[in-house]
Amino acid sequence: MAVNTVRPQVNRPKANTLREVPKVEKPRPARPPRQKGTSLFELLDRYTKVDWFFAEGLPVRYLPKVLFLMGVTLFYIGNTHYADRTLRRIDKTKAETEDLRADYTTLKSDYMEASKQSEVARNVEPLGLMESSTPPIQVVLKKDEY
């Protein structure tokens, strides 16, 4: 046996001595009994008699079916949350699209207004540019000239 595994023995008295008596806590007073039918589970127990189902313990043979139903239920709840979240995103995107469409229409009408000949002439007048009052001249080239 290794040296580091040996533990020194505690020196106990060899004579007859009194042992320490462990302190015993006082028992707590019992709770007053609750009235029957005050909780949800007591109501369920009163109106659904399923005690016979668990009389011999937990029926393990139904456990796979119960677990399957729990899985399907969890999937259904998750799918419902996912659908609600997707619908909220779609509504938000629709609202953004309507706002952008309104902005586009406003900007397009402003651009069309600003690109009119009279508006262009009025805007470039401070720069010293004036609208020509003579009509443009048509240049006619003969086929042989060029």
As a whole-number percent, the residues of the chain with pLDDT over 70 amount to 86
**Residue 43: per-residue pLDDT:** 79
State pLDDT tens for residues 39-67: 888 877 778 877 777 777 777 888 899 99
* Confidence check: pLDDT of 8 > 80: no
State the number of CA atoms in the 13 A half-sphere of 100 facing the CB: 6
CA distances from 101 to 5, 96, 106 (A): 84, 9, 9
* Confidence check: pLDDT of 93 > 80: yes
Higher pLDDT, 77 or 43: 77
The full length of the chain comes to: 146
First to last CA, the chain: 118
Mean pLDDT of 7-33: 74
Alpha-carbon distance 65 to 24, whole Å? 49
* Confidence check: pLDDT of 15 > 60: yes
Q: What share of the chain is helix, strand, coil (3-state, %, to 5)?
A: 55, 0, 45
Report which secondary-structure segment, H or E, holds 101: helix 63-114
pTM above 0.75, yes or no: no
**Residue 68: per-residue pLDDT:** 97
Alpha-carbon distance 53 to 58, whole Å? 8
**Residue 101: per-residue pLDDT:** 97
Residue 5 carries which side chain, given as an amino acid letter? T
| Confidence band of 3 (pLDDT split at 50, 70, 90) | low
